[in-house]
Amino acid sequence: MNKVDLVTTYYQAWVNKNITTLKDELLDDKFGIRNFFENVFFDLNDIEKEFLKFDLVSFNVLNIEEQDDILYCSLELKYLYKNTNLEAEVITKFIFKNDLIIRVYETFDNPKCSRVKCIASYDGSTFSGFQRQPELRTVQGDIEKGLKFLTGEDITIQSSGRTDKGVHALNQVFHFDTLSMIKPDNFWRVLNSYLPDSIHIKSSSKQNKTFHSRYDVFSKEYMYVINHKEYNPIMRDYEWFVPNFDIDLLTEELHKIRGTHDFTSFTKAIEDKVLVRNIIDVKIKKTDTHLYISIIGRGFLRYMVRYLVGTLIEIAQNKTDLSIIDYINMKNSSEVKWKAPSCGLYLKEVIYYE
């Protein structure tokens, strides 16, 4: 079956609520779907539950563009949601592997809007985290205020993920939709004029409307900075001073976290339902004064990197006889009490599916 036929069959399966057809088209359990309601599905059981929430009545394919293993299409959809008949124009991005569907990204189409992707750096010590919060200064809040002054629009930005109070970013990614006539490639330059010195937009670019800063992430790299030589009060908001620990032991333990594990022990956040995460790689760089620890993964639980680094330091100071794998295997957050301070943590890089 060619890619165009796969797409047609895919939407017909949603009309017919045919989970068997979808199973034949999707790549085993490695697929991901984000529909135009921005609900995300990674298994067939979740799709079957979605079948109960709304009915796709019919679809009409308006346009298709094929690029190697990626296919973009625009469609008219008629659907029944909460007993109401609705119509929508949707843009969909399909990604294929081994002639099967591995990713589906849908979004409502507004032809007058442009989707702009930005890469930003910021000093987290001056903010109460990234996410907008009432009566608190946040990175998202300041950027959205800047966009309001610049465009006159009430714009909500979507980021690759939240960073907590005091956490910094070297390459945070966010996107937004705008009616502005400013060229997307020039947005970074103009927007910086409306932002505080603690935030800097490094680049901006126009994206297909199926792009999403959060849902399309392939991997993130967090870097933690430790000063192991001499306390520096000027840098107290940008590193963690830890003078005495076994760097070789820390390095050995760090490499043990690579792979897929249940990281229940390393988060206190109750909103995370799936606690299994995949660590793609770890890196460590040592200088005469500093240690730079990088952890690269598909995704992270809240506080996960800080609890991992805090526990690694505890082990490297010989304050516990257990290894990092022992704490992972416990799957008990009450056993891990050591959270590294936010000042040393940086969101270093975000990589996206092509």
Distance of CA 283 to the CA centre of its chain: 20
Q: What residue type is 55 in one-letter code?
A: D
DSSP H or E segment with residue 248? helix 247-254
Give the active site residue among 164, 246, 262, 272.
Answer: 164
**Separation of alpha carbons 337 and 126, rounded Å:** 26
Instruction: Please give the torsion angle defined by the CA atoms of residues 129, 133, 137 and 143, in that order, rounded to the nearest 10 degrees.
Output: 80
**Separation of alpha carbons 58 and 23, rounded Å:** 20
Identify whether 288 is a catalytic site residue: no
CB 106 within 8 A of CB 71: no
Is the alpha carbon torsion for 315, 321, 325, 326 positive or negative? Answer: negative
Closest CA to 251 of 339, 326, 313, 328: 313
Question: Would you please indicate which residues are annotated as catalytic (active-site) residues?
Answer: 164
